[in-house]
């Protein structure tokens, strides 16, 4: 399938590792000009150097000037972004009864407010051109809140509500807005969560991973490239009639429809 994004500009937030990097690489493989961003500028530039057409930008989405730096770097290199991939670091694990007001504020800043600010910077040009793709990397916790991830559940659910509302407002302008929800994808973040659970429960990480795999109908953790491929489709021209959706890429982990 020709995804129709050759020459399109894709701005991918927090794309120096994990799922963000997988999406950046998938979009680049389909011919997009990619803006790789992250707090580690040197890493962003190293990743960009390996892609067909890309730049690396040092910018922290959660910093006050982070969204502006990302948008300006994209415009300077390639023009206004056609594709925006929203992504951010997950908050610390924790139970809902134990989180603090400051932690809730931090989660909302990182997972909601920063992503809304970046969206607001690139959306007007998309609407004016009559073509745009906004995709948020979410979590299966949006579909089924995850134990011991109260801050992530809270922040990502709020972002999902914002994006669902936005999708209906901009659909007639040729802009789609979707979420892609990972399950257990083999990233450093998931490995860290497994280590934390093993420590809390005084178990081995191997036992925790085996238990997780047993709960996944596919019987394994997903590969980052599999997630990236799903993201590339949602950012594509053929996906022009898919908007306001939350697609799960989880090997069947979430049992609800």
User: Is the torsion defined by CA of 131, 137, 141, 144 positive or negative?
Assistant: positive
- Residue 256, pLDDT score: 85
- For the beta carbon of residue 134, count every other beta carbon within 10 angstroms: 27
pLDDT tens, residue by residue, 83-112: 999 998 888 889 999 999 999 999 999 999
Rg of the chain (C-alpha set): 18
Are residues 57 and 36 in contact, defined by beta-carbon separation less than 8 angstroms?
A: yes
- Residue 255 parent element (H or E): none
- Residue 14, pLDDT score: 96
Alpha carbon 143 to chain centroid, angstroms: 15
- Residue 193, pLDDT score: 87
pLDDT < 70 regions, the chain: none
């Amino acid at each position: 399938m020709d995804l129709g994004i050759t020459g399109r500009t894709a701005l991918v937030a927090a794309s120096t590792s994990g799922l963000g990097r997988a999406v950046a690489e998938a979009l680049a493989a389909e011919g997009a000009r990619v803006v790789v961003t992250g707090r580690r500028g040197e890493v962003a530039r190293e990743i960009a150097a390996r892609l067909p057409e890309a730049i690396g930008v040092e910018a922290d989405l959660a910093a006050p000037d982070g969204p502006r730096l990302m948008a300006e770097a994209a415009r300077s290199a390639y023009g206004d972004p056609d594709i925006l991939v929203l992504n951010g670091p997950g908050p610390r694990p924790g139970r809902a009864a134990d989180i603090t007001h400051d932690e809730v504020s931090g989660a909302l800043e990182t997972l909601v407010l920063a992503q809304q600010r970046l969206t607001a910077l690139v959306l007007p040009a998309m609407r004016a051109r009559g073509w745009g793709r906004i995709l948020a990397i979410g979590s299966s916790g949006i579909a089924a809140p995850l134990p011991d991830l109260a801050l992530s559940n809270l922040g990502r659910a709020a972002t999902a509500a914002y994006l669902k509302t936005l999708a209906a407002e901009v659909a007639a302008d040729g802009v789609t807005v979707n979420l892609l929800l990972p399950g257990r994808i083999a990233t450093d973040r998931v490995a860290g969560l497994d280590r934390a659970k093993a420590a809390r429960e005084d178990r081995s990480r191997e036992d925790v991973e085996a238990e997780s795999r047993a709960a996944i109908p596919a019987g394994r953790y997903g590969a980052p490239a599999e997630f990236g491929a799903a993201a590339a489709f949602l950012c594509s021209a053929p996906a022009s009639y898919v908007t306001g959706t939350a697609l799960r890429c989880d090997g069947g982990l979430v049992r609800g429809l």
